[in-house]
Every structure is written in structure tokens, then in C-alpha cells.
Structure 1
Amino acid sequence: MAKVADDEFCDALDHLDVEDAEEAAIEALQNDVDPEPDHTGGGYHFDTPAHLAELKEQRAQLWAWLKGVGSHMFKEGINLTKISLPVCLFEARSFLERLTTNWEYNSLLQHAAACSDPADRMRWTVAFAVSGLCRQVSFHKPFNPILGETYQAVYPNGIRVFCEQISHHPPISSWEVYEPSAKFVFTGNGNWVAGIKGNSVKGRQTGRNVVRFASDGASIEYELPGLQVKGVLWGTRVLKYGGQMVFKDVKNGLQATVDVDPQPQAGFLTGWFSRNKKPHKPDQIVGKLTRISDGTVLDTCHGNWLHYLEWDGGCAGGSGRSGKEKEGQRLKRLWDIRTATLTPAVPVPDALPSDCRHREDVVFLAAKDQAKSQEWKHTLEERQRRDRKLRKEGGGYEH
């Protein structure tokens, strides 16, 4: 989520202190007290004994880092694409490698490619996109890719993936995913935007996700929802997704609109009709499949981004939960975390020299040497900053 600072921003940070920090926030941080009474609003909770032990160690280092950032983080917030973070927040992977985790339920796209009905194909594609949200639940963040950095991998079912960092400012990652029989190609680019204010981080991976199917040449395009991490500095850490995902198949005139964790409407008249309203369910998914030309609703879906997605009308060739096909029935629950098969990607052995696994900061963090990892992270950031300056002076693209 974060990106290295510009020279001007780095200089500005040197003159900040925490003397005027809000006393309540600092006291809560030092005592690790949660000022919020509970976290009943859903989301993924990092509250296992292992998570709690990691949180205690991580927050001790975060407090030291915070002293160098300044108290305005509590009041004004900080753009995480403009500042360098300590390695205690990181996992030993680059964002390019982490991307492939999103797509570990890619058998759903294989089902989509096998559909003769464009509406069924849209249903499966929505299930694929929703299934990837729970795969992004992680205690640590990945390292920010360096311009020109690459990653190549193969899934057990033969699907190949190629990732590359194509821009430094703004940070943009690009990918191409190929089905072995050329039934579909999944391409796109992602630009992380994120900010931290007080005890919360809000962010979103912007950019196009496009799945092109060989059967009729149609493409389905969509974007991802936003996320929020609460409890960054104190209290229970919780990750939540929220927002709207819109899927479009222009060639076949189809659109699916999916709301992730839709919030109840608040207003003067809400109370008058509350008896007839369904209770709000945190983390729920609600959506509809429509015809673009006239808005006709063809199907509706529901679910939970942490657990399952189900289409009320279902897809052709249905089966029970045992997996055995039942003639004449339609398959409604297209993704269920309890029964779906994960296919983690395996990095290629003969990777390019630019492969993200060769980065020194990643290598040392994997070896649990945070000090060396931090040194190399700083070195690589300075190198990027210097290279960007040279590109600018030479009249080329800054990126």
C-alpha cells in the first residue's frame, strides 16, 4: 500500500515531532487500550494468540516509527503512497507475488470459460472476483514493487501468470494470466491508494480487471471494492471490505452490480419503516445481474465475502454440495470457502534476474533479519529516487 517519499516529503518529515500529539491517542497507544467498545460490525478479526503476540511486538516498533512521523497523523492523516514504512509491517513478499494469492480460486474462471450462456459466464466471473477478497486477508503488507520488477508463476492446473511493475509514481502493477488451452486471458493493472489516520487505514486497489473469453471474444471488466483496517495502533485489529463492484460485458449487453457490506440507510424517515426492513448483516454481499439495454433484472445474488456467494437463479448444470451433477437442477452456490479448492501459484524456477524474490530486503526479512532488511529497503528506495531523478533530467518518463 505504501510508496517511498519524494525528496521534498522526506525533508519535511525531518522537522516533525510528536510533542503536540493528542494525549488521549498517545496514552491509548502506549497502554494498548481500545477506545472503541467492541467490533461487532463484522470483518476479519486478527485475534488469535499468535496474532496477539505479533501485534504486541509490531506495535512497539510502530510507536518508535511514529515519533519520527509526527502527531498530525492522528489529526490530519498520512497518505501511505507518500511515505516509507518500517519492515515490521511487512511480509517477505512483493506485492507482485501477493497478487497471485487473489486468484487462487481460478477454477471458477475455468467454469466461466466453459459456459455457452453469457449470463452464466458472468455469474462465475463474479464468484471468482468475490472469492479473491478473502485471500487478501493478511496480518502483514507486501513490499512495494520496484519499477521493472517482475514475477512469474504457474498454478497447479497449468494457468500461467506474469506480473510486472510498470510505474513508480503512481505505483502501478500489471499482469497477464493465461489459461493453458487459451480459453481465457485475464489481464489488468492495479494502483494502490491508501492513507492512515489515527488508528485506521483506508485503501483501495484501483485499476481495470479484464477477463477475455475465447469462445466469443467477449470481455468482462470490473474493479475491486475498498478496504479498511481498524486497530492499527491499538485494540483489536479488524479488516473490512466495503463498496460496490460493477462487472460489464459490453458485447453481450450484460452488467452485474455487487454491493459489499452495504450499510443501512440513515435518515429522518428510516425509523418509520424500520419494522419492515431486514436487519443489517455485516460482510454480506448483495447484487443483481441486469441487461444493459433496458435494466431488466435477470438474476440476484447474495452471500458473504468471507464465506460464500450464491445466485438465486443459479447456473445450468447444477449439482449438490457433494459435487454430483443433478439433471435439470441449477447450481446456485458457486463459491463456498468450506468446499472450494485452492490452487496456490508456484514460482518458476528459471525466473528473470528482475524477479521480486531476488530483492535483498525480501531475502533478509524471509531470514528474519529485520535490521538488514530495513537497511536494504532504505537502499533500494534511495536507488529508486535517484533513478527517477535521472529519468526526469534526461527528459524521459518519470514513472
Structure 2
Amino acid sequence: MGKQVVLAKPFSLEDEKEDSENTPPNLIQRILSLFKNVRPGSDLSNFQLPPQMNLPRSQLQCYGEIVYSFDGHDLLGECSRRDQPIERLKSVVTWYIATLRPLVFGMAPYNPVIGETHHVSNAHINVLVEQISHHPPVSALHATHEKENIDVMLCQYFTPKFRGTYVEVELKGKRVMKVVNHKETYVMNQPKLLMTFLPAMGAQWAGKVVIKCPETRLEAELQLLSDSFVSRFTGNNKRAIKGKIFESSSRKQLYEIFGHWDRTVTAKNTKTGELEVIYKANENIAKLKTPIVKNLQEVSESESGMVWSEVSEGIMRKDWEKAREAKRDVEERQRESLRKREAIGESWIPKHFSVARAGKDWDCVPLQPRVPRAPIIVPL
């Protein structure tokens, strides 16, 4: 069989209604049955899901999409185009909010195999993601904006834990954005993901996000508000976001941030009272396009869309037997590769990143200063 690449459409804002309408009526029973022998507090990193509960995409595609998949304005490039430091930080905050995407309750992407990659370009933005560890699952992302000279680096690993009535996924590792033309570095952490079963089903982002720029001594704090029991019925806090932009040393507040990340977010100048809508979700994360293969011969054998092509094809066609067999094949190939490395005492070495590990912390550095143009692109 020749090369085959299967890529799923990014999950857009407008897909949520369709997804909720198509949710199987027995989904919650199916989920709870999977966890019946799992103790609260257990680490779910190695938990195996049946194909019926997999999204037809790898986790690497999900990571890549937050950078290369957008509709409308180039928010990443805007982080360098602004003249004043405070305006650039506001743009970074806006870009960060745009990386928050709707979640599909009860469904999860594939856990990437070690060495798997995902390489996609969208206009001036080139993104490369690589799975650098399987146990624990650690992914490294490098993205560059050719025109505006921006560099984005992410080294991310997660710990999903069963909490009885919900699953909490703690995302660890830093995001770093370098706005090279202004010699500025923005360091940011990750929110948590909560998937609740009772009293109501839902998947949401929650927690505190901090964005710091040591060169300008400006900082932003964002609080992603998870739904309380009452707010599930009133709708007041659903996907709400609030925060502030301030001077790091004096803590003097410059802007108040508020709104909903799936609707609009507003910045209020605390000195003048002026209001500015800095983000509109329906102009940035709606009508997202599926990446297409521009040059099949240049697609790497490790590309996510190729590694999982038969699994994704089976899921999209609801051919669960084919999806199960294909998933088993992918996982067995990874186990066989591991056995061969262990037999000769060989450790896995990532292809695109150098990796340092200190205890449970991981640090990844790209081996190349720029991400090259990809053979897979987002169509205009």
C-alpha cells in the first residue's frame, strides 16, 4: 500500500452544537463502566480507550491546531506588529485566548507514539510537533512566523487523574514566545482541563494562567472560571475569563480583562475607563479548515496523519472492527520497536529537539532555528 495521510477537520466553534446533538445517549454509562475498577486519584496516562471514544486525530494534531488553525486575523503576527510594549502584551494575551478551543466531552485523541511528528504550514506560520517520550507522554512543539520573526516553543506533558465524578488533566510545561524583532520573551503556563460526569456532563478549561515578559516588566494574569453547580443552570460563568495586565514590579494594574473565551473578551483601561474588544471567537476559531497534503512525497513516515491513517479512516466510517485492528497494529509496532531498542541497550533520541530532564520536569530545545515549510498546508 502506498502513502496515505488522513487528517480530521479541526474542531470549530460551530461544531459544538452538532457534536452535542450527536452524543450517544449511553455515553455517560459507557464512560463510568470504563472507570468502575479505577480508584479516585489514579493516574490515567496509560489508560486505553476503545476507538469509539477516540477522536480521529492524534494529540499532536490537537497541539498543532492551536497555532496553525485559525480563521481570519493572524493573531500571532500581531504580537510583533504593535509599536508599544503594552500593546504587544495585549496581543499576546489575545493570541493565548485564541488557543483555547472547544472540547468534545467523553472523547480523546490518540496517545502519540514515540517519534511521531506533525508538520503543517499556514501562510507565514510553520509548525512542527514531535512526541519525544511515550511513558510519560511528552510532546514538543516549535512554530515560527516567517514574516514577523516570531518563535513559539512548547514542551508539554500531562497527568490525567480520575477524581470520582470528574477527570482532571493537569498540563505541565511552559509555552515560550520570542518576539525577536523587539527582543522580547513571553513565558506562560497552561490551564487545567476538567471533564465532569456528575451532576452534569461537560468539558472545560479551568485555572490560572500567568504571562510574563521580563524585558518589559509587564505581566498578565488570566483566570479561567470552571462552572459551579449553580452556574450550570444560570449560565453566568460558562467559559468565563477574567484577569488583569499590570507592571510586574509595582503591581500597578493597567488593564482589566473580562468576557468569555468562546464569545468576546474585553480589555478595560483602568486609567481612562476605555473599553476595547480584544477578541471575538467567531472571527478566529469558527469555520476552521482541514489541512491538505500539498506534496505527498515529502510527507514523513512519522507524520501523525500517516501513522494513524487507517485508525482514523475506520473511525470516520464507523467501521469499529477496522479501527480496533489498526489501532492494535500501531501500538504493537511501537512495542516491537521498544523491544528492539532495549535488546541492544539503545535509548530513543528525538529527531527535531534536544531534551533535558530534571526529575519530573522536561525542557526541549529545537535543533533548528526555523521550522521549514511543510508538505501539509492549511488551504486559503
Q: Which letter maps to 1:56?
A: P
Flag the 1:346–1:379 CA change in 2: closer, same or farther, 3 A.
Answer: closer
Structure 1 match to 2:93: 126
Give the TM-score normalised by structure 1: 0.70
Aligned-pair distance for 1:76?
2.8
Residue 16 of structure 1 aligns with which residue?
none
The answer for the alignment partner of 1:146 in structure 2 is 113
1:228 offset after TM fit, Å?
Answer: 0.9
Show the 5 A alignment for 1:51-130. Answer: 51=20, 53-56=22-25, 58=27, 62=31, 66=34, 71-73=36-38, 75-103=39-67, 104-105=69-70, 107-130=74-97
Deviation at 1:331, TM superposition (A): 7.0
2:223 and 2:82 mapped to 1: Cα distance? Answer: 25
* Counterpart mapping for 1:138-177 below 5 A: 140-155=107-122, 157-177=123-143
Matching residue within 294, 313, 338 for 1:363: 313
Bigger Rg, which one: 1
**The 10-residue stretch of structure 1 (279-288 or 222-231) with the greater mean CA deviation from structure 2:** 279-288
Within 2, Cα distance between the matches of 1:286 and 1:72? 38
In structure 1, the residue corresponding to 2:204 is in which secondary structure?
strand
1:292 and 1:196, CA in 2 relative to 1: closer, same or farther beyond 3 A? same
- Report if aligned partners of 2:268, 2:274 keep a CA contact under 8 Å in 1: no
| Cα distance in 2, alignment partners of residues 235 and 244 from structure 1 | 24
Give the drift of 1:263: 8.6
Gaps of 5+ in 1: 1-43, 265-278, 315-328
Following TM superposition, by how much is the alpha carbon of 1:280 offset from its aligned partner in structure 2, in angstroms? 7.3
1:85 counterpart SS class: coil
Aligned residue-pair number = 320
Match of 2:370 in 1: none
* Structure 2 CA distance for partners of 1:178 and 1:344, relative to 1, 3 Å: farther
Q: Residues 211-250 of structure 1: CA distance to partner in whole angstroms, max 9, x if unpaired?
A: 111222211111221121112xx77421122110010111
Within 1, Cα distance between the matches of 2:45 and 2:66?
Answer: 21
Offset at 1:393?
4.7
Superposition pairs of residues 163-312 of structure 1, within 5 angstroms: 163-231=129-197, 236-261=200-225, 281-312=237-268
Mapped contact 1:361–1:376 kept (Cα < 8 A): yes
Return closer, same or farther for 1:382/1:262 CA change in 2, 3 Å cut-off. Answer: closer
Higher relative contact order (CA 8 A, sep 6+): 2
Contact 2:184-2:216 at 8 Å conserved across structures: yes
Structure number with higher helix proportion: 1
Answer whether contact 1:95 1:143 (CA < 8 A) is retained: yes
After superposition, give the CA deviation of every residue in 1:240-265 in whole Å (9 maximum; x if it has no partner).
Answer: 2211001011122121111111799x
Correspondence for 1:385: 335
Report the equivalent of 2:354: none
Aligned pair in 2 of structure 1 residues 78, 158: CA closer, same or farther (>3 Å)? same
Between the aligned partners of 2:322 and 2:30, the Cα distance in structure 1 is 15
Cα pair distance change 1:152/1:98, threshold 3 Å: same
Secondary structure, counterpart of 1:175 in structure 2: strand
Does residue 335 in structure 1 map to residue 314 in structure 2?
Answer: no
2:345 counterpart SS class: coil
- Find 2:324's aligned residue among 374, 389, 395: 374
Shift in alpha-carbon separation, 1:199–1:378, aligned structure 2, 3 A: farther
Percent sequence identity is: 21
In structure 2, C-alpha distance between the alignment counterparts of 1:168 and 1:228, rounded to whole Å: 22
2:301 is the counterpart of 1:353:
yes
Partners of 1:152 and 1:348 within 8 A in 2: no
Deviation sequence 1:36-70 (CA, Å, 0-9, x none): xxxxxxxx9x995863543236456557x63xx6x
Match of 1:337, as an amino acid? Answer: A
Give the C-alpha shift of residue 124 in structure 1.
Answer: 1.1
CA distance in 2, matches of 1:304, 1:128: 14
- Kindly state the Cα deviation for residue 81 of structure 1 after the two structures are TM-superposed: 0.3
Alpha-carbon distance change, 330 to 225 in structure 1, aligned in 2, over 3 angstroms: same
For the 8 Å contact 2:44–2:159, the answer to whether it is kept is: yes
Is the CA contact (8 Å cut-off) linking 1:94 and 1:145 kept in structure 2?
Answer: yes
* CA–CA distance in structure 2, aligned partners of residues 138 and 130 of structure 1: 20
Distance 2:29 2:238 in 1: 31
C-alpha distance 224-137 of structure 1, shift in aligned 2 (>3 A): farther
The answer to whether the Cα contact below 8 Å between 2:103 and 2:203 also exists between their aligned partners in 1 is no
